[in-house]
Amino acid sequence: MDLLLQTLINGILAAGIYALVASGLALAVGVVGIVNFAHGEFSMIGAFVSYLLFVGAGIDPLISLGLAALVLFVVGAITYYGLIRPVLAAPELNQMLLTFGISVALQNIALLLFGADTRVVSTSYQGATITLGGISFGAPPFAAFVLSVGLLGALYWFLGKTRLGFAVRAVAQNRLAPGLLGIETQQIYLLAFGLSAALAGIAGVMLSVMLYASPTVGFAYTLKAFAIIVMAGLGNLRGVVPAAITLALAEAFVSTYVPGGGGWVEAVFFLVIFVALTWRSWRLS
């Protein structure tokens, strides 16, 4: 029974960071309508911002969260304005090739600047443990989960309760009509893409605490984020948390209960994508 509970907790906590990465991606897909393959590289930049501030100025990664979000918002806004905006009317394949190119370019810039080595920050709380009865879990994953839920709650509130949020949702639903009502579509896109990158940056800071900073740190999480948004339905922000929990629980159960399951973890998200797409096609037919 303890093992089952521990597995459930492990899965749910892992879902926090997954949801954080995936919600940014869902925002880019849902509002701007672009599949951003460079989303993981925004997380990588966040991880390096955290690492550099820690090494250069001794700033704790938790304090870097806000700065990393701001930096990534600016990076996202510049990327949108300079690169994404010109291809918005282009075929989807062109858009995907562009974001794939941005991903490769950002990874290689990081390689040139920092090399291929793995770098770690050092905080007093990285190994901190919370114990409840016979169950124990890490404080950083728990904090990442709480942060993720909080940020996503704030995002839902913003989208559901504010005029700007209404405008974002309007643009997500129809690209032309909001313009007729005086909503600046391009500014909404810029805001959404910037927010998407900022969320990735925050996830990157958490990754620097829980894992490491390296040019490739974002890649694995991009793949998982794609599985999550496919499961949630492309652009469906409300489906992100349940989908992230489903994926993380599936991974935790496979790891714990399938012999040699640790090696199968990465296959789980492919299975999730396969099942979600097949089931959706079957339901529509």
Of 91 and 127, which CB lies nearer to other proteins in the complex structure? Answer: 127
Query: Contact region for other proteins (CB under 8 A) — 2-10, 68-76, 88-96, 235-243?
Result: 2-10
Question: Smallest distance, Å, CB 91 to other proteins?
Answer: 29
Site string for other proteins, 144-183 (x = CB under 8 A): ----------------------------------------
CA dist., res. 272 & res. 228, Å (int): 8
Alpha-carbon distances, residue 263 vs 5, 266, 269 (angstroms): 22, 7, 13
**Closer of 199 and 252 to other proteins (Cβ):** 252
The Cα 18–Cα 8 span in angstroms is: 15
Residues in 202-221 that interact with other proteins by CB under 8 A: 207, 210-212, 214, 216-217, 220
Q: Binder to other proteins among 129, 162, 173, 186 (CB under 8 A)?
A: 129
- Contact between 35 and other proteins per CB under 8 A: no
Indicate whether 191 belongs to the interface with other proteins (CB under 8 A): no
By CB under 8 A, what part of segment 224-263 binds other proteins?
251-253, 255-256, 260-263
117 vs 184, beta carbon nearer other proteins: 117
Q: Segment near other proteins (CB under 8 A), from 23-31, 111-119, 145-153, 179-187? A: 111-119
The span from the CA of 241 to the CA of 16, in Å, is 8
Asked if 141 touches other proteins (CB under 8 A), the answer is: yes
Burial bucket for residue 94 (CB in 10 Å: 0-12, 13-18, 19+):
exposed
Site for other proteins, rule CB under 8 A: 3, 6-7, 10-11, 13-14, 55, 111-112, 115-122, 124, 126-127, 129, 131, 136-141, 207, 210-212, 214, 216-217, 220, 251-253, 255-256, 260-263, 265-266
